[in-house]
Structure 1
C-alpha cells in the first residue's frame, strides 16, 4: 500500500514511474493495471509471499523502453537482484528501502544460524545504493549497527479519509456483527497471523486475565497468515473471534469499533496498522520496541510494555478494561498524532532526496 501511494504521488507530480512486481493470483492491488508483473512462485516458508521469476529479455526490453534515471529497490529478493544488476550495468543511480527486519525473523523460524550469512548478503546487496530509506529512526539505528548506509528517513502516513472515528450507531452495528456483547471491552488486532507477530505473548496474557475481566472482554484478530491454525489453537477456549482478512471499509469499520488496539509485535520497522488504529481514535497496547516507538507514546496515546512479556501485557489489558476514562484520554492523543502524519509531506521529503541523489551523480532530475 505504501508503494502504491508512492507511485500515485510521483505521477501526481509529473514524474514517470514504472513498478516491477511479482504476479499474485487474483490480486486486487491498487496499481494492478499499470504494474509490470512477473511470474512468481510461493515462498516455501511463507506461501502468502510470492518470489518473482523474472523473464530477463522481456524485462530488459521493457526497462530499456522506459529509460529510468533512478532505480528504487524495494526488495532484496529476486526482482531486487535483477534491478540491481540492470542498473549497475547501465550506470543508473540506485536507492533502496528497508521494510522488514528479516534478521529478527530468523529465530522465529528456527533459522538463527543463518544470521551471519544474511547480514553479509544484505551488506553486499546494498553496497551500490546511494541511499537506504528506513521507516523509523529505530530502524536507521539498526541499519547503522549492521554497517548499512547512508540512511534517510522515509516514514509512513495514514489515510485519515478512510481511517477515522465513526458515529455510535455504526460502531454498535459493527460490534454486533463481530459478536461483541453489550458492556464488553473490544480488543482488536490487525495483521499477519505469523510467529514473528508475537501473538503467543498475547495468548498467554489473555489466558492469565482475571475471571471478571475475561468474562467482559472480546478479542478480535483480523488477518491471515502461514501460522493461522497454530495461532488459533493457542487461543482455544478464550473469547476470541477470527474474522479473517478484511480490507477497505470493512477494515476501517473494525478499527473504529474497537476500544483498544493490541499489538504485541517486537519486530516492526514501523507498524502501519498501529497508526491506522490511532487515526480511528483507538489507543494501542503494544511493545516498547521497534519502529512503533516513533509514534506510540506511553501514557499519551498508548500503553507500552516490555517486549515479549506476557505478564506485563496482561496487566496492561486489565488496566485498559478497568479504566474507561484512561481510554478516552489516550484516544484524544491518538487522534492528535495521527492527524499530524501527512502523506504529502512524507513524499515531498522522499522526492527531494531522490533529486539530491541524482544531482550528486550528475543525472538530470527530470520533471
Structure 2
C-alpha cells in the first residue's frame, strides 16, 4: 500500500520526521484495502490521521499506548503542558474502540486518569525475537569495541534511546564507584552530547545506533545490562537483554517489575529502588565479582524470555483483542443507531396480514 503525506521535524528530535499520515491518496489506498480493523500507535501525530480514516470508513480502531508522554513533559518542557496532554490522550482513546497497554502499571495510570472505560483497556504483552537476541551472538571483536580494547575488564552495557528522561546521568554516579568497570551506550538521542560530556575522561564508549547482527552481538557481549529508567512502559530492551543471556539490573519502576516479578528477583534479574546508589551497587557488585553467578542468572533469564515469543503475542492480539475491539465497535454503533431506529419505527412496521 503506497501513499504520501507531508512531514515536519519533531521539535525535540530534529532528525525524526512527523506526519499526520492523512492525504487523499492515503485515504484512497486504505479504502481500497478494505481493512477489518485499524491499529494505531499512541500518542503521536499519525494517530490523528488513523482516527480520521477509521471514522470516515466506519472501521473499528485499536490504539496501543507505548510512550508515557505526561511523565516526559516536565523534563523536556513546561509542566503546565501535562494537563493538556492528558486531555489529548483522553480524546484519542475515548474515540478508540480498544486501548492496548504494555503493562498493568500503565493500565493503572490510564484508569486513574480516566482516559477511557476500564473495560476498554487491555494488556498487550509484546514479544521478543529470541532468535535474533541469543547468547550465541557473544563476540570477542564486539567486546573489544565496547570496552575500548579492554575485554578483560567488567563490561556494563545500556541499550536504548539517549534521552534525559532515561535517568542516564545516574549511571555516572554508579561508574564512579566501579573504577575497574567499563560502560558502553548503544543508541542515540538528543541527550547524547550532554551525556558524553558527563562521562568525559571516563571509560565509556558511545556506539550510536546499532542494528541487525551488530545489535545482537552488543547485547550478548556485555556482562551486565543496566537500566536506570523510571518511565519504561514495558522495557523491550530488558527483554532483549534477558533473551541474550546477560543479567539485568534495572530500576523497580514502570513495566519492568512485570518482566522481573518479585518471586523471580535474584533469579532472572535484579531490581533496585530508583535513584538509590547503594541499592543498585548491592546488585551489581556480586554479579561483577562472580562469573558463575552471571552465567546462572543469564541462563535463567534466557529461559524466562522464551515465554514472550512473538507467536503467542500475535495470536493473542489477533484472536482476542482485535475481536474485542470489533465487539465494542458494533455495540457503540448499535447504540448510536437506536434513536434513529426508534424514530423510524412507525414507518417500518410490517403490514398486518388478515388470515380471515
Could you state the TM-score of these two structures normalised by the residue count of structure 2? Answer: 0.85
1:217 and 2:181 equivalent? yes
* Partners of 2:157 and 2:183 within 8 A in 1: yes
Q: How far 1:276 moved relative to its partner?
A: 0.7
1:44 and 2:11 equivalent? yes
Q: How far 1:59 moved relative to its partner?
A: 2.1
1:165 and 2:135 equivalent? yes
| From 247, 253, 257, the counterpart of 2:221 | 257
Could you state the TM-score of these two structures normalised by the residue count of structure 1? Answer: 0.82
* Counterparts in 2 of 1:341 and 1:180: CA distance versus 1, 3 Å: farther
* Counterparts in 2 of 1:198 and 1:37: CA distance versus 1, 3 Å: farther
1:93 and 2:93 equivalent? no
Instruction: Give the structure 2 partner of residue 279 of structure 1.
Output: 243
1:356 and 2:324 equivalent? yes
Deviation string, structure 1 residues 291-321 (Cα, Å, up to 9, x no partner): 1211124212222111123343344333332
* Counterparts in 2 of 1:55 and 1:335: CA distance versus 1, 3 Å: closer
* Partners of 1:38 and 1:52 within 8 A in 2: yes
**1:225-240 map, 5 Å:** 225-240=189-204
Distance 2:286 2:5 in 1: 49
Query: Could you tell which deviates more after superposition, 343-352 or 106-115?
Result: 106-115
* Counterparts in 2 of 1:111 and 1:244: CA distance versus 1, 3 Å: same
* Counterparts in 2 of 1:132 and 1:276: CA distance versus 1, 3 Å: same
CA RMSD of aligned residues (A): 2.0
Q: How far 1:35 moved relative to its partner?
A: 6.0
Which ranges in structure 1 are unaligned for 5 or more consecutive residues? 1-33
Instruction: Give the structure 1 partner of residue 152 of structure 2.
Output: 183
* Counterparts in 2 of 1:41 and 1:143: CA distance versus 1, 3 Å: same
Query: Could you tell which deviates more after superposition, 138-147 or 73-82?
Result: 73-82
Instruction: Give the structure 2 partner of residue 24 of structure 1.
Output: none
Deviation string, structure 1 residues 134-171 (Cα, Å, up to 9, x no partner): 1112211121111123111111111111111127xx53
* Partners of 2:156 and 2:225 within 8 A in 1: yes
Does the residue aligned with 1:47 lie in a helix, a strand or coil? coil
| From 313, 318, 321, the counterpart of 2:285 | 318
Query: Could you tell which deviates more after superposition, 155-164 or 66-75?
Result: 66-75
Distance 1:177 1:227 in 2: 22
Distance 1:361 1:316 in 2: 48
Max radius of gyration: which structure? 2
